[in-house]
């Protein structure tokens, strides 16, 4: 009679609640520390590389586990006391690290995603541009009000609960003052009122726009200047969060569109997908004969047209359309684009857009991403379609969080046929 072998590891439901000592190997996607114990790969929040901790298993989806620290046995020299502990569950999941350690962890996340998701092993050096401000850097915010509890602040990660905040340390001073004014304004809301989301944006002159405009003077446009270009937008539009890294990020995105770059594509046409209010469209239009900008959000496209006209740029064709719909037939109308720039949302490029890009056969692709995981996924698909990774740079758009902005450059691995 053969004996049944004991399983190499306990079933996931029997692991939940168990504890074990674990050494944190590195920081990976999502800001988790990677460790191995109890026969599982464990992802642990709120840790630093090299730390030894007693970890409790909280959940076990599939063959991995997520855990939390019960006791820190060997803390890292990079660990500091979080200045705002209540913000850890509201996105500030790196505030327990020194700023230098935060930057190193973000580079670790990028390389982990490239290797694990994109199957990309690269020796490219990836520089990271620090933020000039570690707190008080956000010029955009979305606050929430729960009339039933009176809470005003941000929604807790993984839930629908609004966490009440007396102040908002994330935002620039003009928005911090607006946050305080809104707290007073909403304190009189009846308990049976509808829950409310308020979007806010601050310009260079500290003017604030709100959507909805709950305070006097907030139904307005705000203005931001980036590398000499003027941008107007309101609180309903997307615009990058951290003004202190915008100029170097734009310069990096346009690195291969400069006259001094011998590998630069021809100046015939540049395509800007997910173009927003024109952050990249305007400088591209000063370097190329023609630019096509595609933006799906009506109000955002309207303000992009305003910014293009204000800049006196007559060589931009602005398409108000979903990128997925536009790109399906774009290659028939425009042929090969020497340069294509994409700045998609956190979800990355839909498969239909990747296929459309491949049909357009751009000589170069610049990909601006706020999520290294979806970036790595899309780079894998583009590399499989005869592109090669030609350079990367990171920008700390979101200090105190695990999020990071990345600019990646690709070029065709083989020369295309002449047009």
Kindly report the three-state secondary structure assignment for every residue of 309-378.
Answer: HHCCCCCEEEEECCHHHHHHHHHHHHCCCCEEEECCCCCCCCHHHHHHHHHHCCCEEEEEECCHHHHHHH
Q: Own/partner pairs for 349-357, CB < 8 Å, 24+ apart? A: 349/374, 349/378, 350/323, 350/324, 351/381, 352/324, 352/327, 352/328, 353/273, 353/323, 353/324, 353/327, 354/378, 354/381, 354/382, 354/385, 356/327, 356/328, 356/330, 356/331, 357/327, 357/382
Through-space distance between the first and last CA atoms of the chain, rounded to whole angstroms: 74
CA-to-CA distance for 317 and 328, rounded, in angstroms? Answer: 17
| Cβ atoms of residues 126 and 111 within 8 Å | yes
Give SS3 for 73: strand
The residues annotated as belonging to the active site are 370
CB burial readout 374-388, b (16+ within 10 A) else e: bbbbbbbbbbebebe
């Amino acid at each position: 009679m053969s004996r049944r072998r004991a399983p190499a590891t306990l079933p996931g439901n029997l692991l939940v609640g168990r504890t074990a000592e674990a050494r944190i190997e590195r920081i990976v996607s999502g800001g988790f520390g990677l460790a191995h114990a109890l026969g599982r790969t464990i992802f642990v929040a709120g840790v630093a590389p090299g730390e030894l901790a007693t970890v409790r298993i909280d959940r076990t989806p599939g063959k991995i586990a997520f855990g939390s620290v019960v006791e820190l046995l060997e803390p890292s020299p990079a660990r500091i006391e979080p200045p705002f502990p209540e913000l850890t569950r509201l996105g500030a999941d790196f505030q327990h690290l020194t700023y230098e350690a935060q930057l190193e962890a973000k580079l670790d996340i990028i390389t982990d995603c490239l290797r694990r998701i994109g199957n990309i092993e690269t020796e490219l050096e990836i520089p990271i541009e620090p933020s000039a401000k570690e707190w008080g850097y956000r010029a955009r915010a979305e606050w929430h009000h729960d009339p039933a509890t009176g809470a005003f602040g941000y929604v807790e990660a993984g839930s629908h609960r609004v966490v009440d905040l007396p102040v908002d340390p994330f935002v620039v001073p003009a928005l911090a003052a607006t946050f305080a004014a809104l707290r007073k304004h909403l304190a009189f809301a009846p308990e049976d009122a509808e829950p409310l989301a308020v979007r806010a944006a601050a310009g260079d002159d500290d003017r604030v726009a709100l959507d909805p405009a709950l305070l006097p003077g907030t139904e307005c446009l705000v203005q931001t200047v980036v590398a000499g270009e003027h941008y107007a937008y309101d609180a309903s539009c997307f615009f990058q969060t951290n003004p202190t890294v915008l100029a170097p990020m734009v310069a990096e995105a346009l690195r291969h569109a400069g006259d001094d770059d011998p590998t630069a594509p021809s100046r015939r046409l540049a395509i800007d997908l997910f173009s927003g209010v024109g952050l990249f469209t305007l400088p591209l239009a000063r370097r190329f004969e023609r630019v096509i900008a595609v933006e799906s959000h009506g109000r955002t496209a309207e303000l992009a047209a305003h910014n293009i006209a204000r800049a006196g740029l007559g060589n931009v064709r602005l398409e108000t359309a979903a990128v997925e719909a536009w790109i399906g037939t774009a290659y028939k109308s425009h042929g090969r684009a020497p340069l294509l720039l994409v700045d998609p949302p956190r979800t990355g490029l839909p498969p239909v857009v990747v296929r459309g890009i491949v049909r357009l056969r751009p000589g170069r692709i610049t990909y601006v991403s706020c999520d290294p995981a979806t970036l790595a996924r899309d780079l894998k698909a583009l590399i499989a379609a005869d592109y090669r990774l030609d350079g990367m740079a990171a920008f700390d758009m979101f200090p105190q969080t695990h999020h990071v902005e990345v600019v990646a450059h690709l070029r065709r691995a083989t020369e295309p046929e002449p047009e």
